[in-house]
């Protein structure tokens, strides 16, 4: 299975090298949002965060939310790639070959995780250029990277399932869109206590908020509290749900 998964991973990497334009489009979205909020709205929103507000403070605050949007945008390509495989008939061909069935999905997952981590590195570099100044220790950086990897794996498995569930490539490209909106309805751009009561409740209990709060605490030294447990718990739950859903859909399609 490991060898078959490695083969499928190489296939995915070749596909990525031939679809650089799609990768750049998916990367451009979080970069544009970052630049918009920091340079257009940063002074105003930053002044609402404290006495020493302004653009530099807001760049620190908004970066964790942008990183989550980067992941959500990158995994949209995963759903598209899986749907393309399912609609072009290549999966039927793979099933006639002597390879582990799960390797087709793990190849997508591994390739998408690598691509997303590269995009996260690029967005983080842009964030530093526009004023993001983390003060994390080496251990805190490892914790932040681990959380980003966990969130990436979770959302990749979820979007693999979405790609399998979609009947068309167009539908597969739209199904992950709510994932990009969730940071806006959490603590990604403004503190949740500034929101109306109903929205504040949703923002406090949706899965992206503890992830962003934990990243903020690890990278900037703010209070984490119980957010870390919730963050990794949500990542584990989403990953397990996405994996089981994807496996069920893949096996069901195989029996048709």
Chain segment 184-200, per-residue pLDDT in tens:
999 999 888 888 988 99
**Burial of residue 91, with CB atoms counted within 10 A of its CB: 0-12 exposed, 13-18 middle, 19 or more buried:** middle
Residue numbers of the domain that contains 106: 2-254
CB 119 within 8 A of CB 34: no
Go through 217-237 and write b for each residue having 16 or more CB atoms within 10 A of its CB, e for each that does not: bbbbeeebeebbebbbebbee
pLDDT band, very low/low/confident/very high, at 256 (cuts 50, 70, 90): very low
The pLDDT, as a whole number, for residue 255 is 42
Decide if pLDDT at 12 tops 50.
yes
Q: Which residue has the higher pLDDT, 240 or 25?
A: 240
Q: What percentage of the chain reaches a pLDDT higher than 70? A: 83
Q: How many domains is the chain built from?
A: 1
pTM, full prediction: 0.88
Average pLDDT over residues 84-113: 70
| C-alpha distances out from residue 201 to 74, 130, 182, 185, Å | 28, 31, 13, 10
Whether 64 contacts 144, CB under 8 Å:
no
pLDDT at residue 91 in the model? 64
CA 107/CA 33 separation, integer angstroms: 30
What's the mean pLDDT when you consider all of the chain? 85
């Amino acid at each position: 299975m490991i060898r078959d998964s490695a083969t499928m991973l190489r296939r995915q990497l070749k596909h990525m090298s031939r679809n650089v334009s799609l990768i750049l489009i998916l990367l451009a979205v979080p970069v544009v949002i970052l630049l918009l909020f920091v340079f257009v709205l940063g002074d105003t929103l930053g002044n609402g965060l404290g006495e020493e507000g302004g653009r530099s403070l807001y760049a620190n605050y908004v970066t964790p939310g942008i990183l989550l949007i980067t992941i959500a945008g990158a995994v949209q390509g995963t759903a598209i790639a899986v749907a393309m495989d399912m609609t072009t008939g290549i999966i039927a061909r793979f099933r006639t070959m002597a390879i582990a069935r799960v390797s087709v999905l793990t190849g997508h997952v591994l390739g998408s995780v690598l691509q997303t981590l590269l995009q996260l590195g690029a967005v983080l570099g842009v964030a530093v250029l526009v004023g993001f100044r983390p003060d994390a220790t080496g251990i805190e950086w490892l914790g932040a990277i681990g959380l980003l990897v966990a969130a990436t794996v979770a959302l990749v498995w979820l979007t693999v399932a979405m790609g399998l569930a979609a009947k068309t490539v167009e539908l597969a490209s739209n199904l992950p869109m709510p994932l990009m909106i969730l940071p806006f309805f959490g603590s990604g751009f403004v503190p949740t206590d500034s929101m109306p009561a109903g929205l504040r409740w949703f923002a406090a209990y949706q899965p992206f908020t503890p992830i962003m709060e934990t990243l903020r605490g690890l990278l900037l030294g703010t209070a984490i509290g119980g957010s870390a447990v919730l963050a990794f718990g949500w990542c584990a739950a989403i990953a397990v749900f996405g994996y089981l859903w994807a496996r069920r859909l893949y096996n069901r399609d195989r029996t048709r």
